[in-house]
Amino acid sequence: MKILVPVKRVVDANVKVRVAADQSGIDLSNVKMAMNPFCEIAVEEAVRLKEKGVADEVIAVTVGSEKCQEQLRTAMALGADRSIWVEADDDIEPLAIAKLLKALVEKESPDLVILGKQSIDGDNNQVGQMLGALCNMPQGTFAFNLKIENGRAIVSREVDGGEQVVSLSLPAIVTTDLRLNEPRYAKLPDIMKAKKKPLESLIPADLGVSVTKSLKVLNVREPEGRKAGVIVNSAEELLDKLRNEAKVIQ
Amino acid sequence: MSVLVIAEHDNHTLGAQTANVISAAAQIDSDIHVLVAGQNCRAVAEQIMAYEGVTRVLVADNHAYCNQLPEVISLLVMEIAGDHAAILSAASASGKNLMPRIAALLDVAQISDIISVESADTFVRPIYAGNALATVQSSDSVKIITVRTSAFESVAQNDSQAEIVDLDSIISQDLSEFVGESLSTTERPELNSASVVISGGRGLGSAENFQILENIADKLGAAIGASRAAVDAGYVGNELQVGQTGKIVAPNLYIAVGISGAIQHLAGMKDSKVIVAINNDPEAPIFQVADYGLVADLFEALPELETLL
Ligand SMILES: Cc1cc2nc3c(=O)[nH]c(=O)nc-3n(C[C@H](O)[C@H](O)[C@H](O)COP(=O)(O)OP(=O)(O)OC[C@H]3O[C@@H](n4cnc5c(N)ncnc54)[C@H](O)[C@@H]3O)c2cc1C
Ligand SMILES: Nc1ncnc2c1ncn2[C@@H]1O[C@H](COP(=O)(O)O)[C@@H](O)[C@H]1O
């Protein structure tokens, strides 16, 4: 079984981003970048399936500018066997990414594509589902448990009211939620080994995809900030304030 | 041209968020159609009929739609999509699951999690866990949108009655199968729409200790929420998680207990009207967004609150 894992380079989850002064976007100069946390979970899940003997090859892919190759090296240090970099602008839209991934799915014929549920920069939560539609594959989104049984993927999903289980024919799309697993850290020898693993590079034209945009960002601004209020000294004072000042409880 | 809203329901009851989605839709166009796809879901259609602005309720009632699997509902929507300028759903787990499939089949972009409609083609949405707000304009012929329902009032009901139109096309697929679900049942108000929410974090220390929150929630008529750390530690179920990757809430009163205030948590609650933080670490970032902060050991402060309420 072959698993394709799309990963994205994003601002590190611990960074508090700043809006650029001209409101054109986020100021990314000198900001720490990392693999999207949900993609780390996707890589980990794929590697665990390989370690269990369920999968025999894990391929990491990313779409983006040259620097994104760092995240492919990370994925290979974590256990991916090889990787594919599709060179493109960093701000292309989820649909275009899904189209590029579809072309790679056709090229590689994976049995499973495991993606993050959401990139923490754009907070889109779209690419996996879009890829499912484009490839006419079933999807198990927001997965917290994944089993491969009798040629099907059994996915336990986080839903609003609790949990849901679906059974999917293969090939299938799975998107990861935080509870699916806890990603390992790459060890130094693995980081060294990853440098020698194959990294193929392509451009959208190689895949027959033309990248277009249909959304225009008119501006990006900071939300109205909240100010710290007052510190109260006791539970009693707190209740008094809530009742008589804020008037939010009886 | 009309706009289409995908109703959220469990075949019996209309989900509360749909009324908020209808009010977002009304800002795009006054002619609103609502799709109810399910099995034996007629009652849901009847609940929608009276919402202001809704002119037509489309009902697809068939076993094939029973569990509303996105593989099949997306194809169903494809059959009626052509008539609409926009298709909207709540940015709920089911909306997020379904809408990108529809967008991809229509070959258009999706605009996720909008918090405001500026005009029929321009919307505001939070990015980077709500640390920035992007205003985006779409040039697509049909706009696929998920709505952050906490940012929109719910639409009123009136005497007008929308017409009910049955859709008889039956679409089947054998890609995916529903196996089962376990949904938590609670007497409490829904987390998304409660006017008071009290949330616990890692500071609570155990599942048992959430009982202290429950007691206070009982007295306040509040919904219970949690931080990711509390969910990860197994204190409560994931459906209670508030934050960037959980539920987004904006109640009149949000009480954060034993929660440090990570960016990802703030993303889910910082639009609450009044925020209270109870934490024994005066440096905890949650205090920077709290209207009222109580620096105290929660195991002393909570029982005291309970007695005083
Ligand atoms: C991609 C990603 C997505 C995430 N999404 C979310 C999300 O949606 N929602 C979310 O909440 N988190 C999310 N997180 C996790 C987030 O970064 C934090 O780790 C999490 O919110 C911390 O939870 P906490 O505040 O309960 O725990 P901690 O940060 O450990 O804070 C516990 C607090 O309790 C206080 N405390 C301890 N004992 C007591 C006591 N006896 N009395 C009073 N106070 C006490 C401590 O002072 C501390 O401030 C996400 C993380 C990532 C990487
Ligand atoms: N540029 C990209 N390259 C590769 N994979 C991506 C890219 N953008 C998004 N993805 C994948 O799609 C998931 C969801 O992203 P999004 O729909 O943008 O929230 C991510 O976690 C990745 O697995």
Residues of chain A where predicted confidence (pLDDT) is lower than 50: none
Contact A217 B92 (CB under 8 A): no
The answer to whether residue A233 sits within a structural domain is no
Q: What is the pLDDT of residues B194-209, one digit of tens each?
A: 999 999 999 999 999 9
Q: Is B89 in the pocket of ligand 1 (CB under 6 A)?
A: no
The answer to whether residue A134 sits within a structural domain is yes
Centroid of ligand 1 to alpha carbon of A177 (angstroms): 17
Which residue of chain B has the CA closest to A19? Answer: B132
Is there a contact between B65 and A57 (Cβ–Cβ < 8 Å)? no
Centroid of ligand 2 to alpha carbon of B241 (angstroms): 23
Q: What is the mean pLDDT of chain B?
A: 95
The answer to whether residue A242 sits within a structural domain is no
| pLDDT given at position B172 | 86
Contact B177 A168 (CB under 8 A): yes
Minimum-distance ligand 2 atom for the alpha carbon of A42: 23
Alpha-carbon distances, residue A104 vs A54, A73, A107, A211, B298 (angstroms) = 22, 19, 5, 15, 53
Is there a contact between B77 and A106 (Cβ–Cβ < 8 Å)? no
The answer to whether residue A237 sits within a structural domain is no
Q: What is the pLDDT of residues B90-145, one digit of tens each?
A: 999 999 999 999 999 999 999 999 999 999 999 999 999 999 999 999 999 999 99
Q: Is A119 in the pocket of ligand 2 (CB under 6 A)?
A: yes
| pLDDT given at position B190 | 87
The answer to whether residue A238 sits within a structural domain is no
State how many domains chain A has. Answer: 1
Nearest to B136 among A139, A166, A216 (CB): A216
Contact A223 B112 (CB under 8 A): no
Chain A CB contacts of B189 below 8 Å: none
What ipTM was estimated for this complex?
Answer: 0.95
Residues of chain B where predicted confidence (pLDDT) is lower than 70: none
Nearest to B178 among A19, A166, A222 (CB): A166
Centroid of ligand 2 to alpha carbon of B121 (angstroms): 25
**Interface membership of A235 toward B (CB under 8 Å):** yes
In single-letter form, the type of residue at position A207 comes to L
Domain encompassing residue A99: 2-223
CA trace torsion A44, A78, A204, B107 (10° rounding): 10
| pLDDT given at position B145 | 98
The answer to whether residue A33 sits within a structural domain is yes
The answer to whether residue A133 sits within a structural domain is yes
Residue of A154, A166, A180 for testing the chain B interface, max B β-carbons within 10 Å: A166
SS (H, E, C) B27-91: CCCCCEEEEEEECCCHHHHHHHCCECCEEEEEEEECHHHCCCCHHHHHHHHHHHHCCEEEEEEEC
| pLDDT given at position A114 | 98
For A166, the enclosing helix (H) or strand (E) is strand A162-169
- Distance (Å) from the alpha carbon of A199 to chain B's nearest alpha carbon: 29
Residue of A19, A22, A92, A125 for testing the chain B interface, max B β-carbons within 10 Å: A125
CA distance A57 to A73: 16
Residue nearest to atom 38 of ligand 1 (CA): B203
The β-bridge partners of A154 are: A147, A167
| pLDDT given at position B192 | 86
Q: Which two tokens stand for residue A85?
A: 């970099």
CA distance B279 to B302: 11
In single-letter form, the type of residue at position B224 comes to I
Percent of chain B, pLDDT > 70?
A: 100
DSSP codes joined into one string, chain B: -EEEEEPPB-SSSB-THHHHHHHHHHTT-S-EEEEEEESS-HHHHHHHTTBTTEEEEEEEESGGGTT--HHHHHHHHHHHHTTEEEEEEESSHHHHHHHHHHHHHHT--EEEEE-EEEETTEEEEEETTTTEEEEEEE--SSEEEEE-GGGSPPPPB-S--PEEEE-------SSEEEEEEEE---SSPPTTT-SEEEEE-GGG-STTTHHHHHHHHHHHTPEEEE-HHHHHTTSS-GGGBBSTTSB----SEEEEES----HHHHTTTTT-SEEEEEES-TT-GGGGT-SEEEES-HHHHHHHHHHH-
Please report the domains of chain B, with CATH numbers, ordered by start residue: 2-166 (3.40.50.620), 196-308 (3.40.50.1220)
Which CATH number is A205's domain given?
3.40.50.620
Contact B99 A129 (CB under 8 A): yes
Minimum-distance ligand 2 atom for the alpha carbon of A128: 12
Specify whether the backbone of B61 is left (phi greater than 0), alpha (psi in -120 to 50) or beta. beta
| pLDDT given at position A189 | 96
Chain B CB contacts of A154 below 8 Å: 179
Q: Is B243 in the pocket of ligand 1 (CB under 6 A)?
A: yes
Q: Is B228 in the pocket of ligand 1 (CB under 6 A)?
A: yes
Alpha-carbon distances, residue B192 vs A178, B215, B266 (angstroms) = 21, 20, 15
The answer to whether residue A236 sits within a structural domain is no
| pLDDT given at position B185 | 82
| pLDDT given at position B290 | 97
